[in-house]
Amino acid sequence: MPLQPGFMPSTLARTIGPTQATAMVVGTIVGSSIFVQPSEVSRAVPTFSGMLLVRCGNAARLLGLEERVGQ
């Protein structure tokens, strides 16, 4: 139903479903961690090689490689 000029609906249309809302929340969390976490890591680890090592360690934990190495 196209809106006519000057027409104001009495209620807002509910066009965002649970899937879209979940995607928005996940995107916000991932997006904020992309920008916030590197600055915190660079504050704690002053060298690029140290930051790279931290990132590789995080990736290994994410993939479950930490458990395999510790055995």
* DSSP-assigned letter for residue 12: -
What is the pLDDT at residue 59? Answer: 81
Question: Would you say residue 7 lies in a domain?
Answer: no
Distance CA(11)–CA(34), nearest Å, equals: 36
pLDDT for the residue 19: 93
Is residue 10 a part of any domain in this protein? Answer: no
Q: Does residue 61 form part of some domain?
A: yes
Domain limits for position 63: 46-71
Q: Does residue 12 sit within a domain?
A: no
Is 23 within the bounds of a domain?
Answer: no
51 is a domain residue: yes
pLDDT tens-digit series, residues 36-63: 777 777 888 888 898 888 888 888 887 7
Q: Would the pTM count as exceeding 0.85? A: no
How does residue 2 score in pLDDT terms, banded at 50, 70 and 90? low
Answer whether residue 50 is part of any domain: yes
Number of domains in the chain: 1
**Rounded to whole angstroms, how far apart are CA atoms 47 and 53?**
10
Rounded to an integer, the average pLDDT of 20-35 is: 86
Please report the pLDDT score of residue 23 as a whole number.
94
